[in-house]
A = this chain, B = another copy of it.
């Protein structure tokens, strides 16, 4: 009832436990006859080798920790799907946890994963402080960052999307459409480098367009704040002709705000979002977006992790793996026309 052990099987098959072990793990020489007897015994007893016992002995658990901000977010979910796919292919299992973007939760979760003796952890990191990560690595598990890096750990293995390239591609696209006053809607908080905003500024500069601070809006990570930021941006600068949202939540807020202010998209204002979502096709109009290869990110991160934890930490530091983003041109961006909103508030 409580689960048969290797001893039970050995007894039932009339062999030693070592033999059972050999049969179950398929290693070592076993005569075909005993092999069959053992298998039969295992079958009737419904024997399932305990991963605990095995792990204790072999010091390998086949467990991978996965830390995402919010499994409910399409990016996280897609990333997780990639990790799951790779992990399963390698016979590993995934312990999932959500940090909720909270550094303290993240730290606690890392402790728990360490206790579980995971072989590695894949994380979309929150905490800017490199120490918890270093501590974890010292304990054993390999760490691979996905989607973001930790500033203090330049050499940590990580798999990133080409954020800069993605932002550049939209901005250039918008510029090509004739837009000159393009706003950026970004996240607030000590979120660190704000790669997207930085790439936005850089591209503007490279294109010879003016960088007006007034065209930058920042929101806290709540729907309300995002909406407010978008709305006030639209009202503050009635002359802007396009806005790039640095995240899908922000983009949605922009769409809603535009709708609220009865701005037509893209006739009055073009909207593009960084981080494509599964429903961009269904929006009205369908949203032009920079798509991130989230699933690949997860898959690659897992590959990297497995390789690292296998080859010992003897892995060369290696540059980050950077995966391309893709500009999905849909209908929410249009050319600048003479009939566009000018300086006059509507």
Residues of chain A whose beta carbon lies under 8 Å from any beta carbon of chain B: 1-3, 46, 48-53, 55-56, 61, 63, 66, 70-72, 74, 77-78, 80-81, 84, 88, 93-98, 111-112, 114-117, 135, 138-140, 252, 255-256, 277, 279, 281-284
A81 to B96, CA, bound (A): 10
* Residues on the B chain within 8 Å of A283, using CB: 279, 282-284
* Residues on the B chain within 8 Å of A50, using CB: 56, 115, 117
A72 to B278, CA, bound (A): 10
Interface centre among A48, A63, A115, A140 (most CB of B within 10 A): A48
Tell me whether A53 and B56 are in contact in the complex, defined as CB-CB below 8 angstroms, given that A97-B93, A282-B255 are known contacts.
Answer: yes
CB-nearest residue of chain B to A313: B1
12 contacts between A and B (CB under 8 A): A49-B115, A51-B117, A56-B56, A72-B81, A77-B77, A84-B97, A88-B97, A93-B97, A95-B96, A256-B281, A256-B282, A283-B283
A74 to B282, CA, bound (A): 16
| A93 & B117 in contact (Cβ 8 Å cutoff) | no
Copies in the complex: 2
| A52 & B138 in contact (Cβ 8 Å cutoff) | no
Among B56, B88, B97, which residue has its beta carbon within 8 angstroms of that of A52?
A: B56
Distance (whole angstroms) from the CB of A330 to the closest CB of chain B: 13
Distance (whole angstroms) from the CB of A62 to the closest CB of chain B: 9
A135 to B94, CA, bound (A): 23
Q: Which 4 A-B pairs have the closest CB atoms?
A: A284-B284, A279-B279, A96-B96, A48-B114
* Residues on the B chain within 8 Å of A2, using CB: 140
| B115 & A48 in contact (Cβ 8 Å cutoff) | yes
Distance (whole angstroms) from the CB of A155 to the closest CB of chain B: 19
CB-nearest residue of chain B to A74: B72
Distance (whole angstroms) from the CB of A318 to the closest CB of chain B: 22
* Residues on the B chain within 8 Å of A98, using CB: 81, 84
* Residues on the B chain within 8 Å of A61, using CB: 52
Interface centre among A55, A81, A116, A252 (most CB of B within 10 A): A116
Distance (whole angstroms) from the CB of A75 to the closest CB of chain B: 11
Interface centre among A49, A88, A93, A252 (most CB of B within 10 A): A93
Distance (whole angstroms) from the CB of A291 to the closest CB of chain B: 14
Interface centre among A51, A138, A283 (most CB of B within 10 A): A51
A71 to B56, CA, bound (A): 31
Distance (whole angstroms) from the CB of A70 to the closest CB of chain B: 7
| A138 & B71 in contact (Cβ 8 Å cutoff) | no
A51 to B97, CA, bound (A): 17
